[in-house]
Structure 1
Amino acid sequence: MAKKKLKFPTAFTVLYIVLIFVAILTYLVPAGQYSKLQYNTESELFIVTTARGEVEELPGTQDTLDALNIKVNVEKFRDGSIYRPVAIPNSYERVERNPQGFLSVLRAPISGVYESVDIIMFILILGGVIGVINTTGSFDAGIGALSRLTRGKEYILIIVVTLLIGVGGTTFGLAEETIALYPILIPVFLATGYDPIVCIASVYMGSSIGTMFSTVNPFSSVIASNAAGVTFTEGLWMRLIGLIIAITITIIYILRYGKKVKEDPEKSLTYSEREEIHERFLKDYDKSSEVTFTVRRKLMLSIFALTFIVMTLGVAFWGWWFTEMTALFLLVGIILGFISGMGEERFVDSFIGGAADLVSVALIVGVARAINLIMDQGMISDTILYYSSNVVEGMNSGLFIIVILLLYIGLGFFIPSSSGLAVLSMPIMAPLADSVGLSRDIIVSAYQYGQGLIAFITPTGLILATLAMVHVGYNKWFKFILPLMGMIAALAAVLLIIQSFL
């Protein structure tokens, strides 16, 4: 009898393993919380909520912030630059333990789906639009045209995609929005001889490197600098240098792997699933009989491409988030349905079928959110931050900043939200730099590098949803990314040490 080959668990199983692990931590790690401060724009008062739930109103003045040892300009609260609750230094208190048992773990994914409904709807509507375009053959015609255009120069695709998304990441935190790109780009990369990992790396690592070395990203550099009591321009040049070096290293790394795959497809980490992947993404694409790129198909793809430009502008300049982005794609889906001339019944079937293809991806987002809910309900997030801040007390400056980097790698695993981690940790961590004679902007850099590094692999972030969309195993990504992760980690450490001497 043939021996069954062990398979790496699916994304759902990996997430549930992490979920159970975090639930166990709520039994082992003491529960505790910092008092939180938030500014009320209507009353122009600070609202302080203690660890025990007591609420107090304080004057919305600089004196209040100084008295609480929050070294931030009050204008940052008044103009909305800091809008989340901020942890108050030296206010940590132990509270009654609230361990998360079997029923909590059972309920958490359901609550996670409810709390992630904005991004879930975005994914489903996007799937519907893609289903409509696929039905018309527009993607297949476009892939054929692009394949002919880049023949012999396929590497340009990797460079352009990684650079453009990297720019989006460093300027306005382009991350979750990139989910929309995979169904379009995967067939293009496959048709040009690459494997899915090349596409994932170009998109995901472009975004990750961009956000890791954020320059003017309001959800990372700006909000963290505000919470640390420094301007975001402090340390900016060092992060910009890091961005240029890191994106160069990343592109070279992807190009080398892509070249190896093109020359010998068996070198692909996903070679064992090659037929299944090609069947899924290129089932209607046949090079020998390419679909005619008609005017109607060109118009549909042009409108679809324009949607991404409008979406990017909306997020960057008009305050859009998932509700507006989802509404945009829904509108575009309806417009494309009319242009296609496919009829109402076929349009609805295509739309629903496309949405159905991405249901698993949408659910993964909800389960990932469940992990954060378990931590919040078990009240261990602040405790982990409290112990982390105690670790670095009394260290020399060189060792201090490396340990801060390592701590932020750990904190980034448990708190994947960049703005959430910034406002929670900066008021606690930034003053520690004062005690070792370093500028607070170096803490901002360490926070970005640490959270950015762990985002390459953390199941609580976006990577599992990305891999599920492309049907690539977590273990395959792990094998691909670890060498690059080591290089970028070394770069981050060197940059922090240099910055500590400036």
Structure 2
Amino acid sequence: MTEKKSKLNLLMPHTYVLLFFLIVLATIGTYVVPAGLYDRITDPNTGRMVVDPTTYHIVKSTPVDPFAMFISVYKGLVQAADIIFFIMISYACFYLVLVSGALNAAMGALLRATKGRDAFVMPLFMYLFATAATFFGMFEEAFGFIPIFVGLAVAMGYDALVGMSVVAMGCGLGFAAAFMNPFTVGLAQKISELPLFSGLGFRIVSWFVFVTMGVIWMMRYAAKVRKDPSKSLMKGIDVGALALDHNELVDSKFTGRNKAVLLVLFVGMCFLVWGVLKRGWYFDELCGLLLVTGIACGLANGYGPSRIAQIFIDAWKDIIFGACVVGISRGVLVVMQQGQIIDTVIYALAAPLSGLPKWVAAEGMLFVQTLINFFIPSGSGQAATTIPIMSPLSDILGIPRQIAVLAYQYGDGFSNILWPTTNLPVMCSLAKVPIEKWWKYFVPFFLLLFAVQMAFIFVAVMINYH
């Protein structure tokens, strides 16, 4: 058994090795793929810089040399510093709540209250996260909840993948199939000169189908793990302080001090949602709020300043591996930007669609947008880059622009929990789930999702979806 396990470990490279291999491939690409650029202009409808689809041109090649390839790792870490420190600070805040025992006591109370009928808990929260994602684009803002649901899932007899799924798949599927997301649907429709949030009925059906598929996939796996823990893909992997014992939780007392800590946490999360929705807060403000929340939780639990500082240090030791994954994966984009090949890749993917039948071209748009999300993981950034190309292309093909927006929406959204250049490494690091374990769990489901996406695109073409 030991020899077999050793061979398996040799076959599975370290996560950093996998990511560096992608950087090497991107570097080779700067020598093979012609450098090219689109001109950027200001869109009068949105005020954003967008691509002029008629201006692609070859530029002088700027291949990345081997030494610069290694520098790209450093540059990736620097460029992703805001995300890395957001991960560290948000994890430290929730780690402190875990250490206080308040969350454990609250989960114990929940388990006692739902004894024998707790199967609805995870699906309910997945639908809630999906609803938040569709109405106001909640994604990064939900990352702080990942440790909570990992702990709850472990305590309920599941594993960390189930807990991560509640947030990652809830937000990911809700964001991807959103019917009112202002950052994707709203922006893309505005650039395409479509009525804001038009085509609502079709998208509502789509949203319900995809989120329900996610709930079923998660709960089938969860039931299998609870019945036979040896079937867990996380078997043998330590999730540290996130792992909670079911019997200890059920027997734990929910004290006044526990309630005070969770009240502070709840108030902090309310301010977080308010700040994002009403004030447009992002990483700077969120990190400041999470620092205040974490310190306040520590004080509410009776900890002194030095104890709180030590807990933050312990948390950062725990999360540094996953946080750095984000920066290393960013190195892929650094290389492609330096080599000026991102626009060439987009041009090469979009150009062949002009000669295809309507429904095939529409499916091609979906495929292209999914690939482009690897290179441009920002939803609004992808809209500003690709919609000015895809919308005129859809006019040429006789396809409604609404379908071009739908293909962008699906392509950008669902692969946010697949590609390593997106926020996936952030979520995996917070859940203490190795990214290769997530892929083993999620890739088969993504292939199923992609088939259903294609079916929705086909139906949209058949009904001339506007």
Shared fold (TM-score greater than 0.5)?
yes
Greater mean alpha carbon deviation, residues 370-379 or residues 229-238 = 229-238
Q: Which amino acid aligns with 2:122?
A: I
Alpha-carbon shift at residue 426 of structure 1 (Å): 0.9
Aligned residues: 459
Distance 1:333 1:24, change over 3 A: same
Q: Which moved more, 1:198-207 or 1:279-288?
A: 279-288
SS in 2 for 1:98: coil
Q: Which residue in the other structure is 1:6 paired with?
A: 8
Distance in 2 (CA, whole Å) between partners of 1:10 and 1:302 is 40
For the residues of structure 2 that align with 1:363 and 1:473, how far apart are their CA atoms? Answer: 13
Distance 1:368-1:431 versus aligned 2 partners, 3 A rule: same
SS in 2 for 1:455: helix
Q: Which residue does 1:161 correspond to in 2?
A: 125
Contact 1:433 1:439 in 2 (8 A): yes
Q: In terms of mean alpha carbon deviation, does 8-17 or 92-101 score higher?
A: 8-17
2:46 counterpart residue number: 76
Counterpart residue number, 2:145: 181
What secondary structure, in the 3-state scheme, does the structure 1 residue paired with 2:152 have?
helix
CA distance in 1, matches of 2:362, 2:189: 17
Q: CA deviation at 1:11?
A: 2.7
Alignment of 1:364-403 (within 5 A): 364-403=325-364
**Structure 1 contact 393–432 (Cα < 8 Å) conserved:** yes
Aligned with 1:287 (options 248, 253, 260): 248
Q: How far apart in 2 are the matches of 1:233 and 1:218?
A: 9
Hey, what's the Cα distance between the residues in 2 that align with 1:14 and 1:178?
A: 27
Q: Does 1:37 align with 2:41?
A: yes
Q: CA offset at residue 412 of structure 1? A: 1.4
Q: CA deviation at 1:197?
A: 1.2
Spell out, residue by residue over 1:443-469, the C-alpha distance to the aligned partner (whole angstroms, 9 max, x if none): 010011122232232111122232233
Cα distance change on mapping 1:146 and 1:12 into 2, 3 Å? farther
* Structure 2 equivalent of residue 19 of structure 1: 23
* 1:433 corresponding residue in structure 2: 394
Runs (4 or more) in structure 1 with deviation over 3 Å come to 282-286, 288-291
2:280 matches 1:319: yes
Q: State how 1:231-380 maps to structure 2 within 5 Å.
A: 231-273=195-237, 276-277=238-239, 280-282=241-243, 287=248, 290-380=251-341
Confirm or deny: 8 A CA contact 1:126 1:355 kept in the other structure: no
Normalising to structure 2: TM-score of the pair? 0.93
Structure 2 CA distance, aligned partners of 1:155 and 1:288? 17
2:416 maps to 1:455? yes
* Worse-superposed segment, 177-186 or 432-441: 177-186
Amino acid across the alignment from 1:302: L
Shift of 1:213: 0.9
Q: 1:400 is matched by which residue type in structure 2?
A: A
Higher normalized helix content (fraction of residues): 2
Q: Residue 89 in 1 paired to residue 47 in 2?
A: no
Which letter does structure 1 place at the counterpart of 2:288? A
Matched, 1:108 2:72: yes
Cα distance in 2 for residues equivalent to 1:307 and 1:9: 39
Cα 1:306–1:150 shift into 2, 3 Å: farther
Distance in 1 (alpha carbons) for counterparts of 2:184 and 2:220 = 31
In the alignment, the residues of structure 1 paired with residue 415 and residue 140 of structure 2 have an alpha-carbon distance, to the nearest angstrom, of 16
Contact 1:34 1:382 in 2 (8 A): yes
User: What RMSD over aligned residues (CA atoms) do the two structures have, in Å?
Assistant: 2.1
Gaps of 5+ in 2: none
Residue 191 of structure 2 aligns with which residue? 227
> Structure 1 residues 127, 13: closer, same or farther in 2, change over 3 A?
same
Paired residues of 1:165 and 1:206 also in contact (CA < 8 A): yes
Q: d(CA) in 2 for partners of 1:264 and 1:302?
A: 36
Contact conserved, 1:235 with 1:445, CA < 8 A, in 2? Answer: no
Distance 1:32 1:286, change over 3 A: same
The 3 A distance-change label for structure 1 pair 349 and 444 is: same
Change in Cα spacing, 1:387 to 1:2, as seen in structure 2 (3 Å) is closer
Greater CA drift, 419-428 or 144-153: 144-153
CA distance in 2, matches of 1:210, 1:132: 29
Shift of 1:477: 2.0
> Following the alignment from structure 2 to structure 1, what is the Cα–Cα distance between the partners of residues 452 and 321?
36
Deviation at 1:491, TM superposition (A): 1.7
After superposition, the C-alpha distances for 1:452-490 in whole angstroms (9 at most, x for unaligned) are 232232111122232233333333322322332222212
CA contact (8 A) 1:225 1:231 kept: yes
CA distance in 2, matches of 1:363, 1:399: 40
Q: Show the counterpart of 1:55.
A: none
* Structure 1 counterpart of 2:107, one-letter code: I
Given the superposition, is the C-alpha separation of residues 444 and 146 from structure 1 closer, same or farther in structure 2, using an over 3 Å criterion? same
- Correspondence for 1:468: 429
For normalisation by structure 1, the TM-score amounts to 0.86
Most deviating of 424-433 and 145-154: 145-154
Secondary structure of 1:299 counterpart: helix
CA distance in 1, matches of 2:208, 2:246: 37
> Does 2:90 correspond to 1:126?
yes
**374, 386, 404: which one pairs with 1:413?**
374
Instruction: Tell me which residue corresponds to 1:59.
Output: none
2:15, 2:436 within 8 Å by CA — same for their partners in 1? no
Q: Does structure 1 conserve the Cα–Cα contact (< 8 Å) formed by 2:154 and 2:245?
A: no
Q: Are the aligned partners of 2:104 and 2:249 in contact in 1 as well (CA < 8 Å)?
A: no
For the 8 Å contact 2:112–2:250, the answer to whether it is kept is: no
Bigger drift between 347-356 and 322-331 goes to 347-356
Give secondary structure in 1 for the equivalent of 2:41. Answer: strand
Does the aligned pair in 1 maintain the 2:155–2:249 contact within 8 Å? no
**Shift in Å, 1:280:** 4.1
Gap change, CA 1:477 and 1:244, over 3 Å in 2: same
**Structure 1 residues without counterparts, runs of 5 or longer:** 39-71, 78-82
1:349: Cα distance to partner?
1.1
Query: What SS class does the counterpart of residue 298 from structure 1 fall into?
Result: helix
Query: What secondary structure does 1:5 align onto?
Result: helix
